Amino acid sequence: MLRRFFLECGNFDLVGNNTPVFFIRDGIQFPDVVHALKPNPKTNIQEYWRILDYMSHLPESLLTWCWMFDDVGIPQDYRHMEGFGVHTYTLVSKSGKVLFVKFHWKPTCGIKNLTDEEAKVVGGANHSHATKDLHDAIASGNYPEWKLFIQTMDPADEDKFDFDPLDVTKIWPEDILPLQPVGRLVLNRTIDNFFNETEQLAFNPGLVVPGIYYSDDKLLQCRIFAYGDTQRHRLGPNYLQLPVNAPKCAHHNNHHEGFMNFMHRDEEINYYPSKFDPVRCAEKAPIPNKSYTGIRTKCIIKKENNFKQPGDRYRSWAPDRQDRFVKRWVEILSEPRLTHEIRGIWISYWSQADRSLGQKLASRLNVRPSI
């Protein structure tokens, strides 16, 4: 669920997802997540034993699994899907007042999912069914719409919770930090050249505008540089000149030349500042200030709290929804290549989230829980 805002002051990319949380909290682990999720490099087959082996080292992934293997894990189509900015960003007023913020998109036509059986039929009949649905809805004037909500937190409250608010494996409880409506997005037009407007798109969580800034979320910090890095490789160093990526507002910088430069410039001044060139800097915008003391170190965060939110979410579901979750877990934990040890770790994790969930898994898999 990615959204780009072409604003008067530049582009803001909200490069999000349809889950509000992510598997890991430290970006250094991202290549391993991707390797584990991708097909086996030997067989080119995606295999759950590899995924569950790797993630058995990551109890912080549990809450994300509570979206992946819940009913919302198979959205009916894009129109009926929620979206989340996932990370904590920062809102900064002109006077420098700072609030932590999370972004949420809610579809006005409601959230709808496919059952596992329906998904086989719908996806089997047309593997592009969701794209077709979106296209057809827009073509017929039934424009998909999302409301945009934010949750905000005073940074002074950062330490008041039993979890770390900048930990991307956690949600912010909506009863304490309510959703506030701030806008709406209507898709009233489709692109007319897929390659130009989709293949060559380069979304980047590093693209923010005055008033919106990053937070110290460790995963976000890695994403800030990773996207531009890959895009320079994927599309070439001048990818920001492509119409789909260039800001719509007046802008001027001295980044030019390199492969595939297609911007003709006949200026003699390509440095700043210069008495020969009247170009001015954009108006200064405040960014969050924070002083730190202490030793910079690489360590596990203090409030890991990996099991409470997954347990709360599981308990919030009706019994039939819980059953479907259990069934999906029994299915993947039954993979013959999973060892007894790995199966035991997962049962122990889910038991710590919710005792009855762990017991159900253990009894259906015929394993004795180890806690």
Q: Given the rule CB under 6 A, which residues bind ligand HEM?
A: 2, 15-17, 22, 27, 30, 86, 201-203, 219, 222-223, 226-227, 230-231, 234
Residue 71: C-alpha distances to residues 44, 94, 170 (Å): 28, 42, 19
Judged by DSSP in three states, 36 sits in helix
Nearest CB to ligand HEM, comparing residues 146 and 227: 227
Task: Detail the DSSP E strand segments found in 168-252.
Answer: 180-186, 212-213
The residue number whose beta carbon is nearest to ligand HEM equals 27
**Considering the complex, what minimum distance in angstroms separates the CB of residue 341 from ligand HEM?**
28
**Considering the complex, what minimum distance in angstroms separates the CB of residue 202 from ligand HEM?**
5
**Considering the complex, what minimum distance in angstroms separates the CB of residue 28 from ligand HEM?**
8
**Considering the complex, what minimum distance in angstroms separates the CB of residue 238 from ligand HEM?**
15
Residue 366: C-alpha distances to residues 314, 346, 362, 363 (Å): 22, 13, 6, 5
Helix (H) / strand (E) containing 105: strand 98-107
Radius of gyration of the chain (CA): 23
Nearest CB to ligand HEM, comparing residues 219 and 342: 219
Nearest CB to ligand HEM, comparing residues 34 and 250: 34
Nearest CB to ligand HEM, comparing residues 245 and 351: 245
Contacts of residue 339, defined as CB under 8 A and 6 or more positions apart, other chains included, come to none
**Considering the complex, what minimum distance in angstroms separates the CB of residue 35 from ligand HEM?**
13
Secondary structure letter of residue 186 according to DSSP: E
CA 276 to chain centre: 45
Nearest CB to ligand HEM, comparing residues 21 and 52: 21
Contacts of residue 92, defined as CB under 8 A and 6 or more positions apart, other chains included, come to 98, 210, 211, 212, 213, 285, 286, 287, 288
Nearest CB to ligand HEM, comparing residues 260 and 282: 260
DSSP structure string for 297-359: -----S----SHHHHHHHHTS-HHHHHHHHHHHHHHHT-TTS-HHHHHHHHHHHHHH-HHHHH
**Considering the complex, what minimum distance in angstroms separates the CB of residue 65 from ligand HEM?**
15
Nearest CB to ligand HEM, comparing residues 1 and 326: 1
